[in-house]
Every structure is written in C-alpha cells, then in structure tokens.
C-alpha cells in the first residue's frame, strides 16, 4: 500500500482548530469517511466532483458553504451562477446525505463548509491521493456570494 501522508500541517487561520469538534462531535470524521467510501466504491469519479465542489465553495469568498445554498426570493443561488453550472448534482446530494447523518449523530451544529472540506479531503484519500488533516470551525454563510 503506497500511501502518501503530508506531515506538515498548514498554519491555522483564526477561528479554525485541529480539535474543533473533538468533544461535541467526535464521530464527525468517521461519518464522513464511511459515507465517502460508500459513494466512491459505487463511482470513483465522484471524488473529482466533490473536490471541485469544495474548490468552488472556497474560491469566491472563502470556504463558507454558500455554494450549497438554494436560491430564494432574496437572491439567486450560487449553484445557478455560470461558473457553477457544471458542478455535479450528485456531489450536492452526497454532501446533503453526509450533513443529514452528521446532524442526527451530533449534538451541535456542524457547518456545511466543514462537511464539504472533510468530504473533499476523504475523496482525495479514497482516490489514492495524499492524506492530510483539515482544520475545522468554519462558519456557514447566510448569503449567496452572488449577492456581493
């Protein structure tokens, strides 16, 4: 088994922590890993879709989960923005499934942005890429990036 592990942790951004959910949701990473393994055993190409979804979430105004927001009368959805039209619908479904399972298992709210970041990390691992740690504690946006 040829596994590359990145040993150097990136510097932490204010508000993020390596242990953010350690006490409030210790099973978070395990839930994400199990669901990613489940989905990628069915279709390994979903790894690319999940990584791309995470990239598109982070690109505009930081990793805030806003790409997951549905449109409303108050504003258009980021999903409908032209750069995001090619994002895989299945990637959104996978994130929604994982988030639902995390919400049932944990006593605290785990941000969609953190779930998306962990799903991307586990997708890279499951596809044979490097393993790396992800600091957690991101806050979800309540506004679409298309409103800014």
**Please, are residues 95 and 122 in contact by the beta-carbon 8 Å criterion?**
no
Would you state the pLDDT for residue 101?
97
pLDDT of residue 4: 60
**Residue 75 confidence (pLDDT):** 62
Catalytic residue (choose from 56, 121, 125, 138): 56
Which conformational region is residue 63 in: left (phi greater than 0), alpha (psi within -120 to 50 degrees), or beta?
A: beta
Residue 145 has phi, psi (to 5 degrees) of -65, -25
For residue 83, the model assigns a pLDDT of 67
pLDDT for 62 equals: 85
CATH number of 28-137: 1.10.520.10
29: its two tokens: 């990473």
Q: What residue ranges of the chain have pLDDT lower than 50?
A: 148
Q: Given this model, what pLDDT does residue 107 score?
A: 78
Annotated binding site for Ca(2+): 57, 60, 62, 64, 66, 78
What residue segments make up the domains of the chain, in order of their start? 28-137
Q: What is the pLDDT of residue 2?
A: 60
Active site residue 56: yes
């Amino acid at each position: 088994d040829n596994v590359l592990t990145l040993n150097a942790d990136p510097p932490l951004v204010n508000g993020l922590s390596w242990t953010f959910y350690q006490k409030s949701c210790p099973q978070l990473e395990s839930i994400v890993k199990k669901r990613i393994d489940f989905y990628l055993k069915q279709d390994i190409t979903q790894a690319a879709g999940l990584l791309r979804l995470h990239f598109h979430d982070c690109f505009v105004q930081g990793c805030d989960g806003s790409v997951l927001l549905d449109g409303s009368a108050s504003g258009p959805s980021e999903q409908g923005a032209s750069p995001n039209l090619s994002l895989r619908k299945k990637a959104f479904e996978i994130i929604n499934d994982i988030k639902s399972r995390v919400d049932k298992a944990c006593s605290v709210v785990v941000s969609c942005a953190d779930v998306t970041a962990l799903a991307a990390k586990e997708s890279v691992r499951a596809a044979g890429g490097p393993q790396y740690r992800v600091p957690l504690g991101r806050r979800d946006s309540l506004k679409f990036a298309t409103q800014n």
